[in-house]
A = this chain, B = another copy of it.
Amino acid sequence: MQDLKPQVANARAYHHGDLRHSLIEHGLEMLEQRNIDGLGLRELAREIGVSPPAIYRHFSDKNALLRALAAEGLHRLGGAQAAAFEKTGGGTAGFSASGRAYVHYALEHPALFKLIFSYAPKADVIDAPPDAAATAMLHLREHISEIAPAGTPPEQLRIYAIRAWSQVHGLAMLLLDGQMKAGDAMIEAVLKVEGLAGG
């Protein structure tokens, strides 16, 4: 009755890095249902079927794990944006689509989205060189100049980028916090211009 499940005793139940992967995977899953403070190391370990101290073989402490989760979230957010951008064939339409993808990703993964901005290495898209890391926000910087009128000076491009990012980020946050009703049509309408023109 006790041994129905193949007890692995201790030792190599996971080979080389599997537990790390499993921790991130299950951590992300837990974030789908709970919010950030609801994610505890002991509970996560329990979920995976491993003892809590095992985590410390892979992460120096809880913050390190959260940072890894945030980094993975950022990566996926970037992936979602890139996919949307490619799918629409790039250009202005692609830029808009990737903005919409940003908001939709936030709505689909509320806790993860918030975690990203609390724990991820700062994206630094605005002032850092674009080769820093492949992040969601790099799209902005890479594509903003294609959208702007030819000859727009770099300082103005920077303002456009911040404005566009603020626009999608603010909409995402307000929707996440329930300040207004969501709706694809509304999201599209709000993001239509993105304030790029005008000045």
Q: Place the interface of chain A in its size category.
A: 35 or more
* A1 at the binding interface (Cβ < 8 Å): no
Pick the residue among B37, B123, B178, B199 that contacts A193 (CB under 8 A).
B199
The answer to whether B159 and A186 have CB atoms under 8 Å apart is yes
The answer to whether B117 and A173 have CB atoms under 8 Å apart is yes
- With A122-B179, A177-B118, A178-B122: A190-B163 Cβ-Cβ less than 8 Å: yes
Which residues of chain A from 160 to 180 have a CB within 8 Å of any chain B CB? 162-163, 165-174, 177-180
Which chain B residues lie closer than 8 Å to A184 at the CB level? none
The answer to whether B190 and A166 have CB atoms under 8 Å apart is yes
Distance to closest chain B CB from A90 (angstroms): 21
Give 4 new A-B contacts, CB below 8 A, not counting A122-B178, A125-B179, A166-B174. A126-B181, A170-B171, A173-B173, A193-B195
